[in-house]
Structure 1
Amino acid sequence: METINWLLKQAALNPNRIAVDDGITHYTFKQLIRPVKSRAEKLTSLTVKTRVGLMTTNSMDGYLVALAIMATGKTIVWLNWRLAPEELSRQVDDAGLDLILIDDQLANHYHGRHRCLFSELTKINSPVGQFKKTIDLTDVASIMYTSGTTGQPKGVLQTYGNHLASAISSSLNLGTLPNDRWLCVAPIFHISGFSIIMRGLIYGVGVRLVNHFDAPTVNHILETEPITIISVVPYMLKKMLQDVQEGNRHYSPSFRLILLGGGTIDRLTLTACQQSGLPVVQCYGMTETCSQFVALSTEEAPYRIGSVGKPLFTTQLRLVGNQNEIEIKTPALTPGYLNQPAKFAAKFDDGWYRTGDIGHLDDDGFLYIDGRLDEMIISGGENIFPVEVENVLRRYPEINDVAVIGRSDHQWGTVPVAVVVSNSPVDFRKLEAFGRSHLAHYKVPREYRQVTVLPKNASGKVQKFRLKELFAPSN
């Protein structure tokens, strides 16, 4: 199905509404046309391929270049600047790129072939290039490599139709207001960030860009600017909560919700947010579904602490097998993985997409996430969900963060191991006693390791495969 370019449509419908703001510069939808068109014409002369690599921070230039790539009808291949050069090179080769546009701030993060800095792009004199006035919903708008918590990133194809279906379902759940302004502090090379840009174009609402996460800075913006929504991951929420509690902060009257995704969070933090007046709405989504496909509503959020909600309007969901794996059907689901059709086909169970996550439903149909199927520990025939153990151990006064992994054991098959982060040496005997007072004995870790920091990907998720390589060798 063909439809008008979303930027052109919003420029016609809401020409004077703020489309994007970085705290210094802002553009209305009508004003966006000129800088996007200029960049689109220039980059057209640099590539003959259908895909263009993009490595950027949450900068205004990055936003403009992303829209320019889509305006040419080409596909954005999002590149995570936090990856090692070897990892980036593999993705560049996998996507078959002959042009990689790079934010000047990240010039030192990639020195491979086909790179072009934003400043170099703007200096190019080129004949009139391509600026497509329409888009086809089946066209691939973006390719985003999965975060790699398992160590095996895949290039997820995201069509315009996928983005539209996700945005519509989210809007029906959370509501959309003409004065909405969405604060984008999540990296835009991650779906939690890029989905905000796409929803800004679809809804016709403003996007407030923040270049990097800093809790006091973000909270100050929420206090002083007319922001209505922010998307965060658990790490961000905890830092924001701490800053609110310490500074007795109060957000602007226009602010209405914190959309929380990107991983599980402990009930203690959610309760503290409620007590501090932070309106958290939990959700559950994936790169493969262009963000959330399950979410709480704003009305339900205060009464369903710990749940990620119910399937959104276009989502079907079921729990399968003894372990309750979550399977879904949704028009927001990717049509496949780049160059890996067999791996994508293997994710399906009789037409249902297997998420790899484990969950349970309460009597009213609200979903709770118990953990990842590939992280579940089976010890002496008993199932142990690391998330449950982690949430308990985080309550121990000296613990800043914790991850639980499995280690092979001759007697029990596998036993849990806790890797903890603390500012001071931890008495593991006392920590174990604390665990035994709150958990069944078989769930209590048999071994403890202390580190200064847990390895995490760009979205803040712990990369447990790296911990297993260090602390839980298979032989």
Structure 2
Amino acid sequence: MNAETIPHWLEKRVELTPERVAIHTQENSITFRELRKQSMCMVGKLASLGVKKGSHVAIYANNSLDFVRFVHAISYIGAVAVFLNTRLTQKEIRFQLEDAKCELVIYEQNLSPIIEPLGQEMPIRVHSFKDVSKQLEAPFKAQQEVRLDDIYTILYTSGTTGNPKGVMLTYGNHWWSAVSSALNLGLSEEDQWLATLPLFHVGGLSLLFKNVIYGMPITLLTSFDEQEIHKAIMEKGVTIVSVVSVMLKRLLSQLDAGETYPTSFRCMLLGGGPAPKPLLEEAASKHVPVIQTYGMTETSSQIVTLSAQDALRKIGSAGKPLFPAQLNIINDQQNTKDQSIGEIVVKGPMVTSGYYKRPETNEYTIKDEWLYTGDLGYVDDEGFLYVVDRRKDLIISGGENIYPAEIEEVLAGLDSIKEVGVIGQEDDRWGEVPVAFVVFHEGVSLSTEEILSYCARSLAKYKIPKMIYFEDHLPRNASNKLLRRDLAKWLKQRGEME
């Protein structure tokens, strides 16, 4: 049977509403017709650089109109877009470029100190947005349709062990994510979504597809700025903002006593991990609608969402699965219906078919189309999901996922260190931050500053431990496995003693 095809969604959008505003930036606004014209211009320039259907093209940039143009240009060619987190170190970026077999990197000019040396060291071509714009256009035939089972994007996500894995997402995954979100949240002619989450993360990227599929303008900010967002909500018609907890907290602080958002404001869509109950209660007291979601890169963004009418009644819940999605809680390989905690498994057309070049991981992560998330949760008697622990050891800091094993692997590279354990510590600003417990070999030691300096060479800034605790041993079980729960107790005891 032939794979399903649909019209290229930007082409279809231009056919339907060419003069409607597509994107507002702080400098100007462009229509869907203009967005298509600018994206098509980039297609010819990428073609002149040898990009063709199936090529893997990395984008290394922060939020900008250029980023958006290239996302659509890559789809017109039928190439695969690989998104690089701009907070990663050169070593981390190198791994992802090699792992994804990227042929070309296009990047934002002010990020050249990180990326340009890689172009000299690796068999890969690197071009700034400015370089690409100067290219002469080569003849090309733009895709007028997209096959829903074609891979469109690869986004890297950290694993509990080893290196990050490239999540393959198809046009169909992104299509169903957008459609499912609309079925859950509803759509209004007045809707205007504000994009401040990084576009290289799936939560931000998904807005670029909702934008053209819904025909809804987005307000694009280069980075999070609570004053700009507050102004956009109060004065510029923004109706939905995607946030993580740390962002919501800062936005709530912008509301003066007695001040409320306009009635046209629909909600803060809150992802990136379970939200503290006091934060949700503060939002409710200020009449700020918050809709919690649960999702991950592997599900193309949200897959479980709390509806607006249940937001206050079910504070702390992530909600119910989106319309085409399914959810189960698995305990000892059995489905559980009794509200007991188990592993969250999900299924639906927005769920990835697997990780790039990771057949072994795919085998145990995806079974009969069910994605085993590794996250723990339970479903109450009304069918609402509560996430208890977002993956067993995961630290979520300001919406960024941090796995202790990755930090431990780096610290273990120091000859002086005998043992190391990393866990998350609660933090008022970021939700959580990583802290490390270290045991030295006999007769040697390092200062905190020396350890942190070493970490900075291999880890993104947000992954560097915020505190190093020196110990003479670490808690382990009979199998010599590190007991993180005991480390958490140690941390709590230290806090009580201070």
TM-score bracket relative to the smaller structure: 0.7 to 0.9
SS at match of 1:320: strand
Letter in 1 for 2:63: N
Q: Deviations over 1:120-170 (max 9, x none)?
A: 111111322342111111111111001567663110001010011111111
Q: Deviations over 1:267-292 (max 9, x none)?
A: 11000001112110001001001011
2:96 pairs with 1:91: yes
Aligned residues: CA RMSD: 3.3
Q: Distance in 1 between matches of 2:188 and 2:279?
A: 28
Q: Find 2:85's aligned residue among 80, 83, 90.
A: 80
Greater shift in the superposed pair: 198-207 or 100-109:
100-109
Say if 1:40 and 1:130, in contact at 8 Å, map to a contact too. Answer: no
Q: Distance in 2 between matches of 1:182 and 1:122?
A: 28
Say if 1:283 and 1:292, in contact at 8 Å, map to a contact too. Answer: yes
Aligned pairs (5 A) from 1:19-168: 19-48=22-51, 50-111=55-116, 112-113=118-119, 114-147=125-158, 152-168=163-179
Letter in 2 for 1:331: P
Aligned pairs (5 A) from 1:36-435: 36-48=39-51, 50-111=55-116, 112-113=118-119, 114-147=125-158, 152-245=163-256, 249-321=259-331, 323-349=341-367, 351-375=369-393, 419=425, 421=427
Cα 1:94/1:33, change in 2 over 3 Å? same
Letter in 1 for 2:95: R
What residue number does 2:486 align with? none
Q: Distance in 2 between matches of 1:350 and 1:202?
A: 29
Letter in 2 for 1:300: D
Q: What is the percent sequence identity of the aligned residues?
A: 35
Letter in 2 for 1:23: Q
Say if 1:263 and 1:461, in contact at 8 Å, map to a contact too. Answer: no
Q: Distance in 2 between matches of 1:37 and 1:324?
A: 48
Cα 1:405/1:23, change in 2 over 3 Å? closer
Say if 1:151 and 1:465, in contact at 8 Å, map to a contact too. Answer: no
Letter in 1 for 2:177: S
Cα 1:242/1:461, change in 2 over 3 Å? farther
Say if 1:81 and 1:109, in contact at 8 Å, map to a contact too. Answer: no
2:21 pairs with 1:18: yes
Q: Shift in Å at residue 347 of structure 1?
A: 0.8
Cα 1:204/1:358, change in 2 over 3 Å? same
Letter in 2 for 1:204: G
What residue number does 1:437 align with? none
Q: Distance in 1 between matches of 2:203 and 2:424?
A: 29
Q: Distance in 2 between matches of 1:266 and 1:162?
A: 30
Q: Shift in Å at residue 217 of structure 1?
A: 2.0
Letter in 2 for 1:229: I
Letter in 2 for 1:202: I
Cα 1:365/1:67, change in 2 over 3 Å? same
Letter in 2 for 1:169: S
Cα 1:15/1:465, change in 2 over 3 Å? same
Cα 1:469/1:291, change in 2 over 3 Å? farther
Letter in 1 for 2:387: I
SS at match of 1:63: helix
Say if 1:138 and 1:160, in contact at 8 Å, map to a contact too. Answer: yes
Say if 1:162 and 1:333, in contact at 8 Å, map to a contact too. Answer: yes
SS at match of 1:375: coil
Q: Distance in 2 between matches of 1:72 and 1:25?
A: 27
Say if 1:42 and 1:129, in contact at 8 Å, map to a contact too. Answer: no
What residue number does 2:434 align with? none
Cα 1:83/1:130, change in 2 over 3 Å? farther
Q: Distance in 1 between matches of 2:385 and 2:210?
A: 25
Greater shift in the superposed pair: 144-153 or 155-164:
144-153
Say if 2:354 and 2:366, in contact at 8 Å, map to a contact too. Answer: no
Say if 1:146 and 1:153, in contact at 8 Å, map to a contact too. Answer: yes
Letter in 2 for 1:264: P
Structure 2 residues without counterparts, runs of 5 or longer: 120-124, 333-340, 409-420, 430-447, 477-481, 483-498
Q: Shift in Å at residue 473 of structure 1?
A: 8.0
Greater shift in the superposed pair: 47-56 or 324-333:
47-56
Say if 1:20 and 1:28, in contact at 8 Å, map to a contact too. Answer: yes
Q: Shift in Å at residue 461 of structure 1?
A: 12
Q: Distance in 1 between matches of 2:269 and 2:428?
A: 28
Greater shift in the superposed pair: 34-43 or 60-69:
60-69
Cα 1:219/1:149, change in 2 over 3 Å? farther
Letter in 2 for 1:38: C
Q: How many residues align?
A: 412
Cα 1:303/1:208, change in 2 over 3 Å? same
SS at match of 2:253: helix
Structure 1 residues without counterparts, runs of 5 or longer: 377-385, 391-402, 408-414, 424-448
SS at match of 1:82: coil
Say if 1:150 and 1:464, in contact at 8 Å, map to a contact too. Answer: no
Cα 1:72/1:304, change in 2 over 3 Å? same
Say if 1:162 and 1:334, in contact at 8 Å, map to a contact too. Answer: yes
Q: Distance in 1 between matches of 2:134 and 2:424?
A: 53
SS at match of 1:244: coil
TM-score computed with the length of structure 1 as normaliser: 0.79
SS at match of 2:222: coil
Cα 1:461/1:248, change in 2 over 3 Å? farther
Cα 1:418/1:163, change in 2 over 3 Å? closer
Say if 2:47 and 2:138, in contact at 8 Å, map to a contact too. Answer: no
